[in-house]
Amino acid sequence: MHVIVEVESGLRHGVFGQLAAGDNGLFWPADPAERSKASRRHRSKRSRSPVRVQADTARSEELVGIAVPLWESRRGLTHGLPAYVTAKPLPPEIDRIVTRLDDYADRWHALPVGGCLTVDW
């Protein structure tokens, strides 16, 4: 969901933007010793504005939180929408995101076992 939301909304520093830039600061090793080493590497590599990263990540979360229930409702997977989705006007990119989710969901379900799906970044 996040990769589609971030591509369609032009977020360059959301979850997948950070990963594409080589920043693995979102995922941490379970082993405390490895986590400490990874934390040091992460701090030394961080070159983007923490404010921009935080804003894009928050926007990505917000859009996913709206797009998922809207997509599920439009696909007939659930009935009704949460109040936070219907309480205010939808962001302009939501229809484009939901259409893209439809496309990828159909392609995903058509895959044979062991098949793959590529999402261009």
Q: In the prediction, which pLDDT does 19 show?
A: 79
Q: What is the pTM of this model?
A: 0.76
Higher pLDDT: 51 or 110? It is: 110
Asked if residue 51 lies in contact with residue 45, where contact means CB atoms within 8 angstroms, the answer is no
Closest by Cα among 94, 60, 48 to 74: 94
Worst-scoring range by mean pLDDT, 25-39, 44-58, 70-84, 96-110?
25-39
Place of tokens 């591509």: 7
Place of tokens 């360059």: 12
Q: Which residues contact 10 (CB under 8 A, 6 or more apart)?
A: none
Which tokens hold the place of 109?
């379900």
Is 80 exceeded by the pLDDT of residue 52? yes
DSSP 33-82: HHHHHHHHHHHHH--S-HHHHHHHHHHHHHHHHHHHHHHHHHTTSSSS--
Higher pLDDT: 66 or 39? It is: 66
Q: Which residues contact 33 (CB under 8 A, 6 or more apart)?
A: none
Residue pLDDT, tens place only, 1-12: 999 999 999 998
Asked if residue 16 lies in contact with residue 116, where contact means CB atoms within 8 angstroms, the answer is no
- C-alpha distances (whole Å) from 74 to each of 15, 21, 31, 62 are 25, 34, 42, 19
